[in-house]
Amino acid sequence: MTETRGVWHLLLGNLTYNALPFYSAIAAFAAGLVVVGAISVFVLITWLGKWRYLWTEWFTSVDHKRIGIMYIIIAFIMMSRALIEAVLMRVQQAVAINSPGFLPPDHFGQLFSTHGTIMIFFMAMPFLTGLINYVMPLQIGARDVKFPLLNSISLWLTGGGAGLMMVSLVLGKFSTGGWSGYPPYTGIEFSPGVGPDYWIWAVSLSSIGTTLTGLNFATTIYKGRAPGMTLMRMPLFCWTSLCTSILMIFAMPPLTVATTLLALDRYLGMHFFTNGMGGNMMNYANLFWLFGHPEVYILILPAFGVYSEVIPAFSSKRLYGYTSLVCATMAIAVLSFTVWLHHFFTMGQSANINAAFGIATMTIGVPTGVKVYDWLLTMCRGRVRFTPPMLFSLAFIVSFVIGGMTGIILATPPLDYMVHNTVFLVAHFHNMLIPGLLYGMIAGYQYWFPKAFGFRLNETWGRIAFGCWVVGFYLAFMPLYVLGAEGMPRRSQEVFDTAYRPWLLIAMVGAFILLAGLVSLFIQLRVSIKQRDSNRVFAGDPWDGRGLEWSVSAPPPEYNFAVIPTVTSRDTFAGQKEHGQAYHPPQTYQDIEMPKNSAAGVVIGISGAACAFGLVWHIWWMSILGLILIWGTVIVRSFVRDIYKVIPAAEVARTEARWLNHVANVRAVPRELETTPANKGLAESVA
């Protein structure tokens, strides 16, 4: 890298004209797309005059519902980028058989690194955090999370990290060290560029945000439940949220430690993970996977929660084996800390250690198996309707079991030696994460969308999306099992065995179908917004739901519950409907105190991103300024005393009356018509 000197260096650090991505036409095009996209969004918002609206209603909002929606928007934007990268890689491998293809190795390396980093930290994590944010407080009968401003700070730190990922597309090259960033390759000696620095700081921002999120959710669930909502009366989604939060609390600090120590190696020449001088690179593998394995369950448990909500709702049955599901969730959460070593069976520890971790790994299959049976038995003799969320849940059950089988293969150390570092592994973890996480997130998105926006999503496009996601997944990843068994190494920019060609071609087609799946989701959204007037469900209960979140209007009022409900049983709202106690107005309404908006989250997130950007390019003044702004904001905020606003009882009464009047005037819908415009959000009593 060329070094500029003098004033420019003081101002811009290592950032020069050379940082622009003219090394490859594709990279330059992608960078152009990001810049043009950013400018056009900016111009569009200015032209529509929406900045003030966005600032007051969304960016500074501390409402858990708005924050949840913003998280999911980040997830969809980042998913679009990472999925396009996946398609590029699949095409490259399909054409680069004994030929260099169209992506140079360096660029290919960046693609698999950003794809993995984004899909985990900036697609999966925001998606599940968004869903939990939206749904969990409603399910436990709370008005918000316990620390609403901290929630906003977490969102903006994650947003800052995502922003840094997008900037890396325009300025400089990203890491080629994969999403796990193993040193010594990512150390300064072998990767002197800015790539690993981008990775380190983007991931650090997100990991700090996630730690705070875990803290917030756990406190909310432990301390914020409505009266009578004992732990064993919580909907299962809350249980999985709780376990995910606990995992976040314990598993994110190891990641922060790993990235920070790697940064110290790179910036200050220390020797934590260097090759020699007393460093120990195996420490990194331990630290990273001490985070990385629980992370897998951070990702999967919320999806398990979604399935445990969707399957009973669309089977019109109580969830089968609630207690066993709770125990299984907790067991998975605990066991997830005992298996991290299976990510590096081949590192050279003794066979006994490998055996212990291999057995521990297989043990996790037991509680997961319990869950699968519980879901199957929930459907048994139920009134099953094949709506898109249900279809995704069914596809999950089948696909996840296949992934679990290959997991048992990988958990056996001798077999792992055979397929380690091949695309067999790639097939396995995509097999776990696409059905085990993404299907769940999409199912949850489709299931709770009417609650959040007040109208149902288009069913036809939901089914088309489902078809693409399932067919695409099988075509894209089943061939990789074969290729892996044949010994094709993962992360190959070029392959040299023509026998791979047919499988790689099938996988490429699969990747395109997956992309079509994402496009279908966007079309579904567009079509649904157009048809929203005929699909409104203001009454709030389009699926004959069982939890408290369905007992309020859709979208819910800012304060969620006019009167905090008193819970007397599991599936509270289902019980109320059964006993004819739903939709009863309370005797009186009272003033409701809600937290005021705050710009602190935005300032901290942007300052954090600026600090990180300064660190990447050695623009020290920017980093220092960013740090000062972060801590300055925290301190200044601690002096603000006027942090609550009051929603007067009269306004609450008006809002509730409008909704209850509507409920009284709409016709209840039987289940067979729930996917038609006849569904106004009031469920016909089953009894």
Q: How far is the CB of 216 from other proteins (least distance, A)?
A: 7
Report if residue 223 touches other proteins, rule: CB under 8 A: yes
Does position 184 bind other proteins by CB under 8 A?
A: no
Q: Which one of 21, 163, 279, 292 is in contact with other proteins (CB under 8 A)?
A: 279
| CB 370, CB 427: distance < 8 Å | no
222 is a contact residue toward other proteins (CB under 8 A):
yes
Strand, coil or helix: what is 458? coil
* Residue whose tokens read 């001088």: 277
Beta bridge partners of 647: 592
Write down the least CB distance from residue 6 to other proteins, Å.
Answer: 27
Question: Which residue of 81, 90, 146, 570 would you call a contact of other proteins, by CB under 8 A?
Answer: 146
Instruction: Round to whole Å and give the CA distance between 331 and 195.
Output: 38
Among 216, 431, 560, 623, binds other proteins (CB under 8 A): 216
Tell me the DSSP string of 377-421: HHHTTS-----HHHHHHHHHHHHHHHHHHHHHHHHSHHHHHHHTT
In the bound state with other proteins, the residue whose beta carbon lies nearer, of 26 and 257, is: 257
Stretch 482-501 residues interacting with other proteins (CB under 8 A): none
Q: Which is nearer to other proteins, 45 or 353 (CB)?
A: 353
**What's the min distance (Å) between Cβ of 124 and other proteins?**
21
CA distance 45 to 39: 10
Residues in the chain: 687
Q: Is residue 341 at the binding interface for other proteins, with CB under 8 A as the rule?
A: no
For residue 275, CA distances in Å to 69, 271, 304, 431 come to 45, 8, 41, 35
Q: Which of 370, 342, 543, 334 is nearest to 451 (CA)?
A: 543
Q: How far is the CB of 422 from other proteins (least distance, A)?
A: 30
d(CA 347, CA 417): 10
How far is C-alpha 619 from the chain's CA centre? 31
**Residue with smaller CB distance to other proteins, 635 or 687:** 635
DSSP SS3 for 234: coil
268 near other proteins, rule: CB under 8 A: yes
* Binding flag, residue 257, other proteins (CB under 8 A): yes
Q: Minimum distance from CB of 336 to other proteins (Å)?
A: 15
Instruction: Decide: is 218 part of the binding site for other proteins (CB under 8 A).
Output: yes
DSSP 589: -
Stretch that binds other proteins, among 72-80, 282-290, 307-315, 354-362 (CB under 8 A): 282-290
> Which one-letter amino acid corresponds to residue 11?
L
How many residues belong to the site for other proteins (CB under 8 A)?
39
CB of 417 to other proteins, least distance (A): 25
Taking alpha carbons only, the member of 385, 377, 364 closest to residue 322 is 377
Q: Which amino acid is at 589?
A: Y
Residue 355: exposure state from Cβ atoms within 10 A (0-12, 13-18, ≥19): middle
Among 59, 71, 121, 147, binds other proteins (CB under 8 A): 147
Determine if 280 is a binding residue for other proteins (CB under 8 A): yes
CB of 359 to other proteins, least distance (A): 23
Cβ proximity to other proteins, 99 vs 638, nearer residue: 638
Establish if 253 lies at the interface with other proteins (CB under 8 A).
yes
Would you count residue 639 as binding other proteins (CB under 8 A)? yes
The answer to whether the CB of 286 falls within 8 A of the CB of 340 is yes
Which of 274/675 has CB closer to other proteins? Answer: 274
Residue 219 near other proteins by CB under 8 A: yes
With respect to other proteins, which residue has the nearer C-beta, 269 or 502? 269
For position 270 contacting other proteins by CB under 8 A, the verdict is yes
Q: Can residue 400 be called a binding residue for other proteins (CB under 8 A)?
A: no
641 sits near other proteins (criterion: CB under 8 A): yes
Asked if 261 touches other proteins (CB under 8 A), the answer is yes
What is the C-alpha separation between 202 and 613, in angstroms, rounded?
9
Contact between 644 and other proteins by CB under 8 A: the answer reads no
Query: Measured from the CB of residue 279, what is the shortest distance to other proteins in angstroms?
Result: 5
Q: How far apart are CA 505 and CA 509, in angstroms?
A: 6
Q: How far is the CB of 589 from other proteins (least distance, A)?
A: 19
What distance in Å separates the CA atoms of residue 141 and residue 133, rounded to the nearest whole number? 13
- Residue 249 binds other proteins (CB under 8 A): yes
* DSSP secondary structure of 526-588: HHHHHTGGGGB-TTS-TT---SGGGGS-SSPPTTS-SS-----SSSHHHHHHHTT-TTPPPS-
Work out which of 7, 49, 99, 278 binds other proteins, going by CB under 8 A: 278
Of the two residues 239 and 481, which places its CB atom closer to other proteins in the complex? 239
Residue ranges of E strands in 137-266:
none
Residue identified by tokens 């609550």 is: 644
As a whole number of Å, the CA-based R_g of the chain is: 25
Q: For other proteins, which is the closer residue by CB, 67 or 464?
A: 67
Candidates 83-91, 274-282, 507-515, 545-553 — which segment interacts with other proteins by CB under 8 A?
A: 274-282
Residue pair 589/562 in contact (Cβ under 8 Å)? The answer is yes
Q: Report the residue from 55, 182, 185, 250 that binds other proteins according to the rule CB under 8 A.
A: 250
With contacts defined by CB under 8 A, name the span among 163-171, 271-279, 385-393, 450-458 that binds other proteins: 271-279
CB of 230 to other proteins, least distance (A): 17
Looking at the DSSP bridge assignments, the partners of residue 595 are 644
Q: Give me the least distance between CB of 367 and other proteins, in Å please.
A: 24
* Backbone φ and ψ of 673, nearest 5°: -105, 10
Q: For residue 164, how far is the Cα from the chain centroid?
A: 17
Instruction: Report if residue 264 touches other proteins, rule: CB under 8 A.
Output: yes
> Counting contacts by CB under 8 A, is residue 428 touching other proteins?
no
Nearer to other proteins, 352 or 638 (CB): 638
Segment near other proteins (CB under 8 A); pick from 2-10, 352-360, 394-402, 631-639 = 631-639
Q: Give the three-class secondary structure for 683.
A: strand
Q: Does 276 bind other proteins (CB under 8 A)?
A: yes
Sequence letter at residue 681? G
Phi, psi of 198 (to 5 degrees): -55, -50
Q: Kindly report the CA angle at 256 between 301 and 606, in degrees rounded to 5?
A: 95
Instruction: Say whether residue 272 binds other proteins (CB under 8 A).
Output: yes
Cβ-Cβ contacts under 8 Å for 353 (sequence gap 6 or more):
341
Binding site residues, other proteins, CB under 8 A: 146-147, 211, 215-216, 218-219, 222-224, 249-250, 252-254, 256-257, 261, 264-265, 268-272, 274, 276-280, 283, 287, 290, 631, 635, 638-639, 641
